[in-house]
Structure 1
């Protein structure tokens, strides 16, 4: 790196040395995320606030109540492709979701019944808050911890009831992407 800087300096006339050093530093410095994990989470909640854009995984399963007796594989592939296109979900999240769906398919293939989720996947609740309530909580009652390429955004929800959601992010290609969601009461 020292050689490259020396060569760069020797190519520049004195008035451009500062500019050359700046360019070298810009090239040599690793890129960082353009948005914070909180901003990405805000985008996630805004995406959820547009139901026409959010696919319904429940449409991919047939059965009664919480029992799944048939899986529409094409629907699941479309579901996965749609959420992947948002750019909000990490490769780890997508991998875990594919494994979850594969497990359901294996159970149904054995002529057994699998169980549907009995709660909202993104808010981990049977009676989830609205995305607007989550945006309010994110703005007014949240904290963020970043450790290199991992981040954790803790959102303390107070309405419609009190509970805490933890959104975990990974930095992929300089973009914070959702990896997992946890709750604690």
Structure 2
């Protein structure tokens, strides 16, 4: 084979070498473009999945917050604990417990769930001090409550159910603020990827 190549005229040798270089370059370019195309489609599919996930998070958040807002606004309303828990889980599954910001969101949703469960179980005779003690026993830090229990708040609260609804409303406002910020930051991350 080498003898055949050496026997060729110089013009044919250069042509043959040029064909080999072109074929090798084309093959390497093909391999690189296949690899880049694979990587690009992977990044695109991940980005699309994140967009879908954020859309579902926004919908679940809107349903969760609107359900709780209507419960708080209407004195006679009741709330489906199972539906609330279902929405809570859908939101939690899209959050990451490792991130501090998302851990706070999950903690707020847990607090709301405990508060609403407790609100449905108390009677009107419970004092606010009893409520605070029982909430502490259920794992809610009273220092984190939006309306701390002090002597002045004790005197201004006549109805323990209204107090709990106020606490739920304030905790919900804080959760709504945290969720909006979280969603905004995640959308900004997605925009930078696109």
TM-score of the pair, normalised by structure 2: 0.32
Please identify which structure carries the higher helix content.
2
TM-score of the pair, normalised by structure 1: 0.33
Larger Cα Rg: Structure 1 or Structure 2?
Answer: 2
